[in-house]
Amino acid sequence: MPQTTKEPGPQSTDYDAIVVGGSLAGCTAAIMLGRAGARVALVEKQPDPKAFKRICSHFIQASAVPTLERLGLLDRIESTGAVRSRIHIWTRWGWIEPPESVPGVNLRRELLDPLMRETAAETAGVELLLGHTATGLLRTGDATSGVTVRDQGDEVIALRARLVVGADGRDSRVVEWAGVDEKTLPHGRFAYGAYFDGPLPTNAPDSTIWFLDPQWAAAFPTDSGLTFYAAMPTKERLPEFKRDPRGELISFMANLPEPPPIQAERQVGPMLGKVEMPNRVRKVVGPGLALVGDAALATDPLFGVGCGWAVQSAEWLSDCVAPALCGEEPLERGLSRYRRRHRSELRGHAFFIHDYATGRRMQPPERMLFSAAVRDRKVAEALESMATRRTKPVRTIAKVMPRAIAVNARHALTRRSGESPVAAAHAPRRVGE
């Protein structure tokens, strides 16, 4: 039973906002709200400032790079050793090479999380409460008006604020306590991954993704000369992975077309695995409550959007509610603006991600787009901007689909004159074209 205290009547508040969860989304929200002049409590259950999220592919999409810049963190992230990566995609039609565009960011969470938390702690107006576990919500009428937390001395403290921000991830307790509406969508794959040290994959410093349809694998070169290898097979392969996770990950990667040199590398750190990861879609605001990051929308990690959307959604929230927290408008108006922004930015992407997350194979329009992207630079550019979440899918697809159809029709006509499909799939790569 959640420890929820109902308090009648208006209360004076300790803070303008309480952020529950001091990971990427929580820290970003706290930093930005603090800088906007709000008094913020950032509640994090881990007492160690160097604590970090372990099961994460850590790739930050290009869409979130402006947010990192705005946080003033991009330079620090790069000087900590981050690798700036574009993505090369293997498909059965050949490689989709990335155009010259904004690269994403690869930095292990082991280094990124402490950096974020340190920045939050340094921000004026932000009080970082490490080792404090949220135990329930305070309510005033129907509205959320605070959080109860237990400190390391087992003492329960009631913290009051005008806004509570749930940034406590995919399995959010805040969502549970507040009784937020939630939709759970099935996920047909599982994930295993690990860091390896040794020779780098061919495309390094760029990342590589193999769309094996329906299987999926990726190599993310990151700081310290390490590479994170991840496999996301469909569930019928789970028994094989459970038999021998390490052996199976290595052989899965080594058996890929144009495989990375994983067999010549040494594993660093533990094997990471996650079997159940249903997509969770939540109503992102309630009275006195807002959700950010995975707590708001937990999608399939296959498309690597989790980290980027964590910081971006926190940025949107901060921009939307800062005026209200500074007393310029009612909070509801800010929250409503955030709800619309979140929906408008992510709904289209989430729709396509959730649909593919079932573990199904690509459908004809997807095959059309991917194969055309192999053959045509403009289609590749459109696909890249959509995949790095810099443009919205419906608009992008509507714009590029006629070209994709034309490209493939031309390809089909010219192929009749001789070239075999497999020869095309193995043709020399058009790197940097």
Partner 1 sequence: MSTAVEPTPFSIAGTQTRLVQAGPPEASEAVVFVHGNPGSADDWAALAAAAGEAGVRAVAFDLPDFGEAVAPAGFEHTVLGYATFLATALEELGVERVHLVIHDFGGPIGLVWAAMHPDSLASVTLIDTGILPGYRWHRLARIWRTPVLGELFQATATRRAFRRLTGRNEPRGLPREFLDRMYDHYDRRTRRAVLKLYRATDDPGAAGTEFAALMAPRDIPALVIWGEHDAYLPAKYATRQRDAFPSADVHVLPASGHWPYADAPQTVERLLVGFLERVTQDRANQTPNVPQSPS
**Least distance in Å: CB of 210 to partner 1?**
8
Cβ proximity to partner 1: between 72 and 257 the closer is 257
Cβ proximity to partner 1: between 12 and 255 the closer is 255
Q: Tell me the CA end-to-end span of the chain in Å, nearest whole number.
A: 59
**Least distance in Å: CB of 89 to partner 1?**
13
**Least distance in Å: CB of 142 to partner 1?**
51
Cβ proximity to partner 1: between 248 and 384 the closer is 248
**Least distance in Å: CB of 422 to partner 1?**
4
| Cα–Cα distance, 94 to 89 (Å, whole number) | 8
**Least distance in Å: CB of 93 to partner 1?**
8
**Least distance in Å: CB of 255 to partner 1?**
5
Cβ proximity to partner 1: between 52 and 252 the closer is 252
Cβ proximity to partner 1: between 6 and 416 the closer is 416
Who contacts 125 (Cβ-Cβ below 8 Å, separation ≥6)?
33, 34, 35, 37, 38, 39, 40
Cβ proximity to partner 1: between 237 and 333 the closer is 237
| Cα–Cα distance, 93 to 64 (Å, whole number) | 30
**Least distance in Å: CB of 200 to partner 1?**
20
Residue with tokens 């929230």: 317
Count of alpha carbons within 13 Å of 205, Cβ hemisphere only?
Answer: 15
What 8-state DSSP symbol labels residue 296?
A: T
| Cα–Cα distance, 350 to 92 (Å, whole number) | 25
Who contacts 252 (Cβ-Cβ below 8 Å, separation ≥6)?
217, 231, 233
Q: How far is CA 319 from CA 34, 39, 223, 323, in A?
A: 12, 15, 31, 8
Tally of CB atoms within 10 A around 153: 6
Cβ proximity to partner 1: between 124 and 422 the closer is 422
Residue 388's region, left for phi above 0, alpha for psi from -120 to 50, else beta, is alpha
Who contacts 205 (Cβ-Cβ below 8 Å, separation ≥6)?
83, 84, 85, 106, 221
Q: How far is CA 423 from CA 92, 296, 322, in A?
A: 11, 45, 57
Residues 63, 390 contacting (CB under 8 angstroms): yes
Cβ proximity to partner 1: between 149 and 212 the closer is 212
Cβ proximity to partner 1: between 361 and 377 the closer is 361
**Least distance in Å: CB of 212 to partner 1?**
4
Of the candidates 132, 139, 134, 133, the residue with the CA atom closest to the CA atom of residue 179 = 139
**Least distance in Å: CB of 107 to partner 1?**
29
**Least distance in Å: CB of 242 to partner 1?**
12
Token reading at 157 = 């403290």
Binding site for partner 1 (CB under 8 A): 92, 210, 212-213, 215, 217, 233, 236-237, 239-240, 251-252, 254-257, 259, 418-425
If DSSP codes are grouped into helix, strand and coil, which group holds residue 228? Answer: strand
| Cα–Cα distance, 257 to 218 (Å, whole number) | 12
Cβ proximity to partner 1: between 215 and 358 the closer is 215
